[in-house]
A and B are shown apart, each in its own frame.
Chain A
Amino acid sequence: MFEQTAVATREMVLEKFPPIERIDKGPVAVVECYQKIPCNPCQTACPFGAIQIGADINEIPRRDEALCTGCGVCVAKCPGLSIMIVDGSKSAGTVEFRIPYEFLPLPQVGERVLGLDRAGQPICRALVKKVMNPPAFDRTPVVTLEVERKYLYDFRNFRREAEAHG
């Protein structure tokens, strides 16, 4: 199905997530790269050696959850925008996501937006906590959003309420 829809199945997604204990300890990268393609900037970008591809740049990146600090440098570097940071350490009922968002206008901190799943369907509300767009991110802004914990494995994107994409 993935090859027809580009929407990852639940099993595929779960494989990319670290155990919930790790998520609850603090931020960690989820690298949703499912296909062997010649690409390795995530490995090059990681200052902690936490993402490994190896000598063959076609290999699928492996993220070491012990080495990953959730710094997020890789998020804006991935040409496929396949990486997000999840953090369950902030509260028992919510999780925080940091996702790349290359659209204008950028959301405002404190804004409530519509949370979307991997098929772009609205599933929840999300609260914008932070919007980062420093020169080092090279025009790939990264938005931090707070989402109810039950959407941990479903949330993947957001839409500002006033907009109707697609």
Chain B
Amino acid sequence: MRELELLIIGSGPAGLCAAISAASSGAKVLILERSFQPGGQLIKQTHMFFGSERQYASHRGVDIADILLRRAAEFGDRIELMLNATAVGFYEDNVVTVLKDEKEYFKIKAKSIICATGAFEKSLAFPNNDLPGIYGAGAVQTLMNVYGVRPGNRVLMVGAGNIGVIVSYQLMQAGIQVAAVLDAAPRIGAYLVHASKLARMGVPILCSHTIKEAIGTDCLEAAVVCRVDQRFRPIPGTERRFDVDVMCVSVGLSPLNELLAMRGAAMRYVPQLSGTVPLRTVDCETSIPGIYVAGDASGIEEASSAMAEGYLAGLCAAAGLGHVPEDYGARRQEYLGQLEDLRSGPVGDRIRAGMKLSAL
């Protein structure tokens, strides 16, 4: 069994920033990444990010992945990145079991562990929602922006949150028609600047609308949508048919943190954070000393917050291992300050409410 100081599970924005932060304090880090490429969901984000320059605002996500990987590489063997390595178990003695390349199975024991496992896309129940052609919006983003493959010719986007609206814009950049974007909520959930980009290209954004059914035999051929009332009940007679070969479902993400639940970290369902999340201190430490969480695994937010949380968790985990840099206090305040900035506005209301419910 391999024993090490700090294990980070996940190499998305939170995991990479945690590794950079911990290594810069002097810790030795191993990152496990289940995919064959690092960077998590950054690798398919072709749009410029929000936030401030401290979170690489105005850079495209795909380029931020490169920047973070280059910075991580500067630490030489202090940061080791293991690809195709899925953490499948997490036990009381801080042993993590790993499945590598779908065949090797081994154990790693770490003094401290940061869980930066991200999130997965929620689905939606409606008749024929399992037809090929109906995909998660993030999945379509992967298909088109990572592999350069068109998902189809004409798309209906279900969900007008940031992901739905951003992916719609990216579909159009790839030359694919977007028939409409709909959302059951009475208001657009996305940042309105993103939504306005679509509006001025003539894409209808239909609030208070839901998907009634998908139509098709082997693959999606059409979708029927209808209006909903204030209590989200379909209004009969308002049905509209869209002939589309692709439907993207973008109805939110759920935190991916089963490993922490398995380890026995105190968890709570917090709707404002979009699912069951570990309770955590302001320093991202869970109810188990030395076990940290960062990024979407601790509640759904933006990539900018995931990066700031990663830096904070990395700093504090390293400090817990005895790597306390001279500027520890200043760095901690800097990362806490970044998080406060990112969460302080009206769009941060939900997050702040959620953080109160998940606070230790």
Direct contact of A and B (CB under 8 A): yes
Interface pair A35/B192, CB less than 8 Å apart = yes
Stretch at the interface among B22-30, B42-50, B140-148, B286-294: B42-50
Interface pair A35/B193, CB less than 8 Å apart = yes
Stretch at the interface among A22-30, A86-94, A117-125: A117-125
B196 nearest CB neighbor, chain A only: A6
Which residues in chain B, 302-360, are within 8 Å of chain A measured between CB atoms?
304, 341-348
B204 nearest CB neighbor, chain A only: A166
A3 in the interface, Cβ–Cβ < 8 Å? Answer: yes
Interface pair B196/A166, CB less than 8 Å apart = no
CB distance from A161 to the nearest CB of B (A): 15
Which residues in chain B, 57-78, are within 8 Å of chain A measured between CB atoms?
57-60
Stretch at the interface among A37-45, A64-72, A143-151: A37-45
Inter-chain CA distance A11–B346, complex, in Å, is 22
A82 in the interface, Cβ–Cβ < 8 Å? Answer: yes
Inter-chain CA distance A159–B198, complex, in Å, is 13
Partner of A117, one of B179, B200, B207, B345: B200
Interface string of B74-118 (1 = CB under 8 A from A): 000000000000000000000000000000000000000000000
A34 in the interface, Cβ–Cβ < 8 Å? Answer: yes
B1 in the interface, Cβ–Cβ < 8 Å? Answer: no
Q: Which of B53, B58, B175 has most chain A Cβ within 10 Å?
A: B58
A8 in the interface, Cβ–Cβ < 8 Å? Answer: yes
Stretch at the interface among B183-191, B217-225, B272-280: B183-191
Inter-chain CA distance A77–B193, complex, in Å, is 13
Interface pair B48/A37, CB less than 8 Å apart = no
Interface range, A side: 35 or more
Query: Which residues of A are found within 8 Å of B230, using beta-carbon distances?
Result: none
Given A4-B188, A58-B346, A166-B203, residue A82 in contact with residue B53 (CB < 8 A): no
CB distance from A106 to the nearest CB of B (A): 13
Given A4-B207, A77-B58, A79-B47, residue A116 in contact with residue B347 (CB < 8 A): no
Interface pair A57/B193, CB less than 8 Å apart = no
Inter-chain CA distance A33–B341, complex, in Å, is 18
A165 in the interface, Cβ–Cβ < 8 Å? Answer: yes
B235 in the interface, Cβ–Cβ < 8 Å? Answer: no
Partner of B198, one of A6, A32, A140: A6
Inter-chain CA distance A126–B333, complex, in Å, is 51
Query: Which residues of A are found within 8 Å of B195, using beta-carbon distances?
Result: 6
B238 in the interface, Cβ–Cβ < 8 Å? Answer: no
Inter-chain CA distance A52–B66, complex, in Å, is 30
CB distance from B309 to the nearest CB of A (A): 14
Query: Which residues of A are found within 8 Å of B52, using beta-carbon distances?
Result: 38-41, 44, 57
Inter-chain CA distance A79–B59, complex, in Å, is 8
Interface string of A1-29 (1 = CB under 8 A from B): 01111111000000000000000000000
CB distance from A39 to the nearest CB of B (A): 4
Interface pair B192/A81, CB less than 8 Å apart = no
Interface pair A116/B202, CB less than 8 Å apart = yes
Given A6-B195, A165-B172, residue A58 in contact with residue B188 (CB < 8 A): no
Query: Which residues of B are found within 8 Å of A6, using beta-carbon distances?
Result: 188, 192, 195-196, 198-199, 205
Interface pair A80/B194, CB less than 8 Å apart = yes
Interface pair A82/B199, CB less than 8 Å apart = no
* Chain B contact residues, CB within 8 Å of chain A: 47-53, 57-60, 172-173, 175, 177-179, 186-188, 191-205, 207-208, 304, 341-348
8 chain-A/chain-B pairs, Cβ below 8 angstroms: A35-B347, A38-B348, A79-B50, A79-B58, A82-B193, A138-B58, A165-B202, A165-B203
* Chain A contact residues, CB within 8 Å of chain B: 2-8, 32-41, 44-45, 56-58, 77-82, 102-104, 116-121, 138-140, 156-157, 159, 165-166
Add 10 more A-B contacts to A4-B205, A80-B50 (CB < 8 A). Answer: A5-B199, A7-B196, A33-B193, A36-B347, A40-B51, A57-B52, A120-B203, A139-B60, A165-B177, A165-B203
